[in-house]
Amino acid sequence: MEKKTENEMEQIQKGLEQFLEREVDGIGKGGEEALEDEDSLEGAAWEDTEDSCEDAENKAEGRAWKEAEGESRKKKEPSGRNGRKKKRSGLKKFAAAVLILLVIFFGGLYLLVGVVYNEMNVEETAEGTDGPLKEDGVTSLLLIGSDSRTSGTEGRSDAMILLTISDRTKTVHMTSLLRDMYVDIPGHDGNRLNAAFAYGGPELLMETVNQNFGTEVSHYAVVNFEAFANLVDAVGGVELELSNEEVQWVNAYLNEYNELRGMPIDTDYLDTSLSGNIHLNGAQALAYCRNRYIGTDFERTQRQRNVLSAVFRKLPAAVLTNPGEVIEGLFPNLTTNLTQGECMRLALSAGKLLSYEFVQDSLPLDGTYSNANIRGMAVLQVDFDQNRAYIRKEIYGEE
């Protein structure tokens, strides 16, 4: 794993160096070619003028005109050359400035990714389950919210969100996968989707998702309760619309979380008379997301996406103004199979996301499932063909 990561980072470094060399050479050559073209155009213009004069005048007059114009041109050449020298000098200064800025940017990004990666809990990809981070123009990452109180991949998958960045459809999809869907789990009997994580961790969960939904995800990030709450706090909390009933349940869920972290039972309680737009800190946002007593699991996953969307909007500014808390609060409680090279590639592609459409949805789609009871389990029986077709069209751009 370590050797593989080193090779990847060496490739990225070489790629960055080649990119910088091309950019600088392109600037220099572009300027020189433009000046050479200018000289060629001047020469062609002079030749055309000479031909016209020879046709219109006799040889003697043409020779006299040519000599006069030649003298005039010689007088002008020194200043023209000086101008070109100044242009070349300006281009070199511009190229040097661009080079310095690129080195600072990529060097800083390289160091930051290294610091962040060292804080993560990295697990090697199980043999036979590895694959590219980006497939068919789509970068896929399975975000798994574990109910574990410690870092790692133990516990149950309390939340499952497929994050995809599609260069084909120019979209970023955040797709919740409902845990009560009845699915075929490789090597096991059919069961709820979240049972796959309990049986075989993130690798089996990804294999189950790919088999049932036609996706191509082979990378994951698992976060526990503490990571989620810390991330919300690192961005300064989130503003969300809550009903008074949701406020009551936030306080109810805070009871367990406060007990787990050894805090007084009423720590972070919300005013029970509140409703409407409310500022939530990390613990309160976690309690809001875990609520499964208002509405169905569809509403619960919507609450999860509401918080994550609010966090993503504030995260770029927080990384600049509060990088220490973001890194220390989130990454020690995050477990992933991403390599350092893959993290670097994700960081390099982050800028283009600003122009992509952000889409929230959940699976199964409306009208593609029914409630059922199988072996005493209340589950959702799903038409996977319709859901696969939706994913292939909306994310992979297939007709």
Helix pair 340-348, 59-119: axis angle to 10 deg: 130
Residue of 198, 199, 231, 196 lying closest to 217 (CA atoms): 196
The answer to whether 8 and 83 are in contact (CB under 8 A) is no
pTM of the model: 0.71
For residue 163, count other CB atoms closer than 10 A to its CB: 17
SS3 content of the chain, % helix, strand, coil (to 5): 60, 20, 25
Q: Determine the 3-state secondary structure of 186 from DSSP.
A: coil
DSSP one-letter string for 300-315 = HHHHHHHHHHHHHHHH
Backbone angles phi, psi at 180, to 5 degrees: -90, 5
Q: Determine the 3-state secondary structure of 295 from DSSP.
A: coil
Backbone angles phi, psi at 61, to 5 degrees: -65, -40
What the chain holds in terms of domains, given with CATH numbers, is: 2-119 (no CATH), 134-394 (3.40.630.190)
**104-119: string of b/e by CB count within 10 Å (b at 16+)?**
eebeeebeebeebbee
Please list, in sequence order, all residues whose beta carbon lies within 8 angstroms of the beta carbon of residue 59, skipping any fewer than 6 positions away.
none
Between CA 176 and CA 301 the distance in angstroms is: 6
pLDDT tens string, the chain, 399 residues long: the values are 444 555 665 665 566 556 545 544 554 444 444 334 433 433 343 334 334 433 444 444 445 444 545 554 544 455 555 555 566 666 766 666 666 666 565 556 666 677 788 888 898 876 655 789 998 899 999 999 986 555 554 556 778 999 999 999 999 999 999 999 999 999 999 999 999 999 999 999 999 999 999 999 999 999 888 888 999 999 999 999 999 999 999 999 999 899 988 999 999 999 999 999 999 999 999 999 999 888 888 899 999 999 998 998 898 888 888 888 888 888 888 999 999 889 888 887 777 777 899 898 999 999 999 999 999 999 999 999 999 999 999 998 887
Q: What is the DSSP letter of 188?
A: S
Please list, in sequence order, all residues whose beta carbon lies within 8 angstroms of the beta carbon of residue 269, skipping any fewer than 6 positions away.
251, 254
Residue 281: how many CA atoms within 13 Å on its side-chain side? Answer: 10
Please name the residue that has the structure tokens 């200018």.
Answer: 38
β-sheet bridge partners, residue 140: 164
Which pLDDT value is given to residue 38?
Answer: 38
CA dihedral 342, 166, 170, 302 (to 10 degrees): -100
Between CA 81 and CA 77 the distance in angstroms is: 6
β-sheet bridge partners, residue 334: 223
Between CA 285 and CA 296 the distance in angstroms is: 19
Burial class of residue 211 (count of CB atoms within 10 Å of its CB; 0-12, 13-18, 19+): middle
Which pLDDT value is given to residue 118?
Answer: 87
